[in-house]
Structures are given as structure tokens and as C-alpha cells.
Amino acid sequence: MISLVYSPDYALHQTGSHPENQGRLDIMMEYITREFGELTPEGGEIDIHPPTPASEEDLLQVHPLRHLEHLKNFAENGGGYLDYDTYESPQSYEIAKLAAGGAITACELVLSGHDFSYSLARPPGHHATSDQAMGFCLINNLAVALEYLRKNHDLEKFMILDFDAHYGNGTAEIFYQDPHVLYISIHQDPSTIFPGKGFVEEIGMGLGQGFNLNLPVSPGSGTSDYIYLLEKILEPVIKKFQADFYFLDVGFDSHQEDPLSHLQLDDDFYPWIASYMRKLASQMVLILEGGYSRDAMARSNLKMINVLRNKITPEEEWRPPGKLVVKEETKALFKEVQDRFSPYFTF
């Protein structure tokens, strides 16, 4: 069973013709309601829940007060571009709190017995560092939810799989020295795309060494390359780490139709990763990040949701048809990651 967390108020984060705009969520919800009908908290085919805004106390577990005050004051003064690509409108700060709260709401649903809960929110969060908005992100939604769980539910170990096309530099930086957070990111080679970080050698620091695992694939990599890498790495790493809680950071901008990356995932990757992760983790919170080809993300999102609502049994693994055709660069990347992480994990 999967529950959605969503609010139409996300439209109040008004970004105009910016690639990250409300049209992304509108078409995703259109596809979902066309498939399942009107959604209610009581459930039917799928249930939907409104988010509760994150409190200042929740936000301060991740972001210093000066960062929050800067976002709030900038919005109250009319908003505009915080940097060359990150936009804030007059109501964006309050809606960013709602997006962070959506991630917390999704976590509470899982803790109350829901198998999977999915926060469909904007603005996204994984590029926001503790003290800087960037990459369309104002507040780091996932990090706020993780720290909420750590403080309020005494959970200790967390695993994050991020498959946005862009490395989640903010999430990685926040937990870079934390041995209790395993962050795995598969993304386009950062020498060819924003944010210019996320290389194999970025493995964490101090006690967190070995718990930041990057898979920077070359432009042109597709579904076969992703499956090849993730099948080899995820299961042994997850089994050794033994997390108490699992996050899936969902990005659709690695799709071959997306204008902001040079990756070649097709619709089949998204039900596959949902199926594969469900086999390894019986409960998960999903948090929406990027994706800018509206039809591609809406189609792929619906296929992923259908896997998590048990259209196949947990014992079955959904696989795309045909044989994997893996690039030589991908095989070389696996060897590099295998060597780099040999002191920490065996895969």
C-alpha cells in the first residue's frame, strides 16, 4: 500500500516559466486521479494526506536561523532570484516549510503502519545545504524529515538512495561526517552537469568516511547501466548497513525526454527501482526532487506508484523486457567504486 502526501497550496510557490513550476505537480496529479479516481485520506485505490508545515524547531535541526531569516525576509520583500537559477516568490518561504513538513508527514505515515508514503511536494530540497539555497531548492526537505525522526522517534540509522540526475550535494554535505546516514547517489557525471560535485572519491569525512557512495554515470547512460550498477551494489551495502529507516529521493530528470540532463533512462527504470527497493526494504518514504519533462515524469511516476501499491506481489521483481546492454564506461565505473569502497563494503 502506498499513501501520497500532497497539497494544492504548493502552487503558491510561484515560479512562472522557470523549469521547476507547478505544472510538474499538476500533471502528475492528473495522471494519478485519472488512474485511481478522486483520492481521500480514507483510501480506495490509494489514499492521500495533507502535509503539516514543518515547525521552526524542525527546520533548525538542519538550517541555522540566519538562513531561515534570509529566506523569510527575501520572500516578504517581494522575492526574486536568490541565485542564477533558484527563485523565491512572496509566499515561497511558507510553502517551503510545507514541503519540508510533507516529508515529515510521509515519515509519520510509515511509522504508523503504511508500507510506503510519497511526498509529492515543491520546492524540492536535495541541493539546499545547511546554509544556502541553490539548484531550485530552499530547504532540504529530506534532511529535515530525517532529523525529525532522529529527535522524535529515537531512530539511529538511515539509508538514502537518490536517483535524481543531479547529485544531491546539499543532502550529502549535511550528512558527510555522519556514520549513521548512508547516502547513495546515482547521477550524471558531475564534470558535465550541475552541481559539479559527486565524484567517486567523495566518500564522506571523519567518522562518515565510507558512507557517501557516488555512482557518477557518463552522459548517454540508460536503464541497462543503472540496473547493472544498482543490482551489484545496493543489496550487499544495504544488508551490511542495516538501516532503521529508508528514503528514496525520486528524480525523473534522468529520463531520456528530460531537457536538463543527458541521460537515457526510459519509463521502465522507475517501476524497476520501486520493485527492487521494495524487495530490500519493506517500508520506505519517497520524496520528489527533479523532473522537467512533464509527460515523461507523469507516466514514469504512475508506473512506479503502481508497483508500490502491490499490483505485483512483494516476492516478484518487476523487470524490463529484453537483455541488458551495458556500456564499457559503466563497467569501468563499477570497478572504480568497488576498489574505492573495498575498506568499507564488499560487492
The Cα–Cα gap between 24 and 11 comes to: 10
The neighbour count for residue 270, using CB atoms within 10 Å, is 28
Burial zone of 25 (CB within 10 Å; 0-12 exposed, 13-18 middle, 19+ buried):
buried
User: Which of the following is catalytic: 127, 166, 187, 255?
Assistant: 127
* Contact (CB, 8 A) for 265 and 226: yes
Tell me 284's DSSP state. Answer: E
Neighbours of 250 (CB within 10 A): 26
Residue 182 three-state SS: strand
Q: Residue 63 and residue 19: Cα distance in Å, rounded?
A: 25
DSSP string for residues in 227-259: HHHHHHHHHHHHHHH--SEEEEEE--TTBTT-T
Separation between Cα atoms, residue 39 and residue 3, nearest integer Å: 10
Among candidates 152, 182, 199, which has minimal Cα distance to 280?
A: 182
The Cα–Cα gap between 120 and 141 comes to 11
Element (H, E) at 105: helix 92-111
Q: Quick one: which H or E segment has residue 226?
A: helix 223-241
Catalytic residue flag (residue 127): yes
For 90, what's the count of Cα atoms within 13 Å in the CB-facing half-sphere?
Answer: 3
Give the catalytic positions in this structure. 127
